[in-house]
A and B are shown apart, each in its own frame.
Chain A
């Protein structure tokens, strides 16, 4: 059987009058799109292999290259789009599940963009962050409900364990295996310099990164890869991963081909074996079971570290979060449906889960209504793209946000969404040594630090405009938000008024 031919998605456009045949494009393309023809003396390209990662475009010294979307299209049909038909062809060719990477690219509503932020005028003064102190520090963990005193009147100042962050942003979970050693090194070094945390993901912690432990959140997921005593003890906090926004309800599968050398040792599984994370934790089928794992981890770490429970944003998220808040967890992390991934079945990524904005608003409200908001801190992720999104998330009730896609973009990712190929030309989502070395952590960590410092400035400017000088006074302050173009029901769930009200 011959496969149904599918016309390449992209065209490589080379301006021959600018091309100096230096062959940088050829050397830098792991997909082997470019080649030099010695007979013709020109560079040629095979666009069927191009994934539009823009590595060649970025490195071409004379800017002779551009990648454009191919305009060879099937007959137009509003119901059967070009992509839908080609996906049918691919499945008829292969008989397989379609795989995708990174976040949901569908044109579903982005509520961040329909929420506007307030500013002070006349009746209360804005604050200039360049002239006046502005606090962006946050503490994550259980907070006391009331002030307690000893019999002699002294204040009881002992708090349950907390994570201290210099700003309400953390790098979210990406496992060693799904991303490279150098990507992990960049995240770890940047988090340490910034005074925030990064997250190991479920692949264990490479022995070289134990020195960044104070800024590391270690994950315990359904596969329990790389979990041992030192792993738990070195971290700032332990996260139980119940689900991921990009693929709620399913597990993970890192092919045996990627379980080599250090990845195998760090995950504590033999080389060449598939790393399969089951969909459920096989010991967790209820909140009571979850409580057992939460307390097992607390016991193992001497009650010195907060325990985070990470779940995907799904339909009953408010009830689920309420259960988690009663399970003994210190922090709930919620991952929205636009969150990234190194590989997920396309249908799941594009159709399962709910927007993080709605999940956050309903969870925060539910926990307040039940009087248990102080039991937990709330961390949200799933496409927080800018400082404005951070401010909106905090005003909707988040204590901090998780960013990963934005962090990868800072490291060079061009969102070509082919992480699952393992041939990342930017040295991020790959284990091929010649590609991994393309990400120099000196550059990577500096770019992450730059990005977060820029966001910190912007957060201060936005807060200052509202006349607020501390993240603490912004949290859950939904009066600072207004919706535009939203229905009454959407506004009700978000707990905000429409612009003009």
Chain B
């Protein structure tokens, strides 16, 4: 299955992936309208320590702890992709607590959200990958 991978060697820490992610998941067609003067809730995050930076998003684990831990049965795995059903999520954030990568975070409405590979939003392919200026984030089979 194709996944999002990050080559830390090429990550510039520019944070464009976060903004492209937030825009792709905003449901709007204009980036300014979607992101200007608002807090953003990206599903990919830049981790940084000194000069080292890299983007982290959901690994779509083989045996996901978030799925196991969800008290509402809102998280499940379909065709290898871990998905959250917004309507079922009760916002207990247990998944945020258990995710070893910090890839699940609360969204603007309090329910948990995470990378679902942009397959169902307006981008149609991972927006972080498409907009990365240095090919540091790739979407490939490994």
Does B associate with A?
yes
**Residue from the list A18, A24, A434 in contact with B15, Cβ < 8 A:** A24
Q: Give the contact stretch, choosing among B61-69, B82-90, B96-104, B131-139.
A: B131-139
Instruction: Annotate A21-50 by CB proximity to B: 1 below 8 A, 0 otherwise.
Output: 011100110000000000001000000000
In the bound complex, residues from chain A placing their C-beta under 8 Å from that of B91 are none
User: Does B140 touch A at the CB level, under 8 Å?
Assistant: no
Q: Given A59-B16, A61-B16, A437-B12, are A442 and B32 neighbors across the interface (CB < 8 Å)?
A: no
- Tell me whether B51 and A27 are in contact (CB under 8 A): no
**Residue from the list A24, A41, A437 in contact with B16, Cβ < 8 A:** A24
- Tell me whether A27 and B15 are in contact (CB under 8 A): yes
Q: Closest CB of chain B to A26's CB: distance in Å? A: 10
Q: Given A61-B20, A61-B131, A440-B134, are A18 and B12 neighbors across the interface (CB < 8 Å)?
A: no
**Residue from the list A20, A41, A438 in contact with B12, Cβ < 8 A:** A438
In the bound complex, residues from chain B placing their C-beta under 8 Å from that of A433 are 51
Per the bound structure, the CA–CA distance linking A62 and B23 in Å amounts to 11
Per the bound structure, the CA–CA distance linking A437 and B135 in Å amounts to 11
CB-based A-B contact count at 8 angstroms: 54
Q: Closest CB of chain B to A102's CB: distance in Å? A: 23
- Tell me whether A61 and B134 are in contact (CB under 8 A): no
Q: Given A61-B31, A62-B31, are A22 and B12 neighbors across the interface (CB < 8 Å)?
A: no
Per the bound structure, the CA–CA distance linking A438 and B9 in Å amounts to 10
Q: Secondary structure of the A side of the interface?
A: loop
- Tell me whether A22 and B35 are in contact (CB under 8 A): yes
In the bound complex, residues from chain A placing their C-beta under 8 Å from that of B10 are 437, 440
Per the bound structure, the CA–CA distance linking A59 and B131 in Å amounts to 10
Residue of A with least CB distance to B20 = A61
Q: Closest CB of chain B to A33's CB: distance in Å? A: 15
**Residue from the list B14, B19, B135 in contact with A443, Cβ < 8 A:** B135
- Tell me whether B51 and A22 are in contact (CB under 8 A): no
Q: Closest CB of chain B to A424's CB: distance in Å? A: 14
Which residues in chain A, 53-69, are within 8 Å of chain B measured between CB atoms?
Answer: 59, 61-62
Which residues in chain A, 429-458, are within 8 Å of chain B measured between CB atoms?
Answer: 433-434, 437-438, 440, 442-443
Residue of B with least CB distance to A433 = B51
Which residues in chain B, 1-33, are within 8 Å of chain A measured between CB atoms?
Answer: 9-10, 12-16, 18-20, 23, 31-32
User: Does B142 touch A at the CB level, under 8 Å?
Assistant: no
Per the bound structure, the CA–CA distance linking A302 and B35 in Å amounts to 66
In the bound complex, residues from chain A placing their C-beta under 8 Å from that of B35 are 20, 22, 62
Q: Closest CB of chain B to A425's CB: distance in Å? A: 11
Q: Closest CB of chain B to A51's CB: distance in Å? A: 19
**Residue from the list A18, A20, A24, A442 in contact with B14, Cβ < 8 A:** A24
- Tell me whether B32 and A62 are in contact (CB under 8 A): yes
User: Does A17 touch B at the CB level, under 8 Å?
Assistant: yes
Per the bound structure, the CA–CA distance linking A28 and B136 in Å amounts to 15
Which residues in chain B, 110-142, are within 8 Å of chain A measured between CB atoms?
Answer: 131, 133-136
In the bound complex, residues from chain B placing their C-beta under 8 Å from that of A24 are 14-16, 19
Q: Closest CB of chain A to B40's CB: distance in Å? A: 8
Q: Closest CB of chain A to B71's CB: distance in Å? A: 36
**Contact-residue size bin, chain B (C-beta under 8 Å from the other chain):** 20 to 34
Which residues in chain B, 27-60, are within 8 Å of chain A measured between CB atoms?
Answer: 31-32, 35-37, 51
Q: Closest CB of chain A to B67's CB: distance in Å? A: 33
Per the bound structure, the CA–CA distance linking A62 and B37 in Å amounts to 13
Q: Closest CB of chain B to A169's CB: distance in Å? A: 26
Q: Given A28-B12, A437-B12, A438-B12, are A22 and B134 neighbors across the interface (CB < 8 Å)?
A: no
Per the bound structure, the CA–CA distance linking A234 and B39 in Å amounts to 56
- Tell me whether B15 and A22 are in contact (CB under 8 A): yes
- Tell me whether A27 and B14 are in contact (CB under 8 A): yes
Residue of B with least CB distance to A15 = B32
Q: Closest CB of chain A to B122's CB: distance in Å? A: 15
Per the bound structure, the CA–CA distance linking A186 and B126 in Å amounts to 27
Q: Closest CB of chain A to B131's CB: distance in Å? A: 7
In the bound complex, residues from chain B placing their C-beta under 8 Å from that of A61 are 16, 19-20, 23, 31, 131
Q: Closest CB of chain B to A58's CB: distance in Å? A: 8
Per the bound structure, the CA–CA distance linking A23 and B135 in Å amounts to 20
Per the bound structure, the CA–CA distance linking A23 and B15 in Å amounts to 8
- Tell me whether A440 and B20 are in contact (CB under 8 A): no
- Tell me whether B14 and A28 are in contact (CB under 8 A): yes
- Tell me whether A443 and B134 are in contact (CB under 8 A): yes
Per the bound structure, the CA–CA distance linking A61 and B23 in Å amounts to 10
- Tell me whether A442 and B135 are in contact (CB under 8 A): yes
Q: Closest CB of chain B to A427's CB: distance in Å? A: 9
Q: Closest CB of chain B to A238's CB: distance in Å? A: 33
- Tell me whether B14 and A17 are in contact (CB under 8 A): no
Per the bound structure, the CA–CA distance linking A184 and B1 in Å amounts to 35
In the bound complex, residues from chain B placing their C-beta under 8 Å from that of A23 are 15
In the bound complex, residues from chain A placing their C-beta under 8 Å from that of B13 are 27
- Tell me whether A20 and B51 are in contact (CB under 8 A): no
Per the bound structure, the CA–CA distance linking A17 and B13 in Å amounts to 25
Q: Closest CB of chain A to B9's CB: distance in Å? A: 7
Per the bound structure, the CA–CA distance linking A41 and B35 in Å amounts to 14
Per the bound structure, the CA–CA distance linking A442 and B134 in Å amounts to 9
Per the bound structure, the CA–CA distance linking A366 and B117 in Å amounts to 65
Residue of A with least CB distance to B132 = A440
**Residue from the list A20, A27, A442, A443 in contact with B36, Cβ < 8 A:** A20
Q: List 16 A-B contacts (CB under 8 A).
A: A17-B32, A22-B18, A22-B35, A23-B15, A24-B14, A27-B15, A28-B12, A59-B14, A59-B133, A61-B16, A61-B19, A62-B31, A62-B35, A437-B9, A438-B12, A440-B135
- The 5 A-B residue pairs with the shortest CB-CB distance, nearest first, are A20-B35, A440-B10, A20-B36, A22-B19, A440-B134
A interface residues with partner B (beta carbon < 8 Å): 17-20, 22-24, 27-28, 41, 59, 61-62, 433-434, 437-438, 440, 442-443
Known: A20-B35, A61-B23. 4 other contacts (CB 8 A): A20-B31, A20-B37, A27-B14, A443-B134
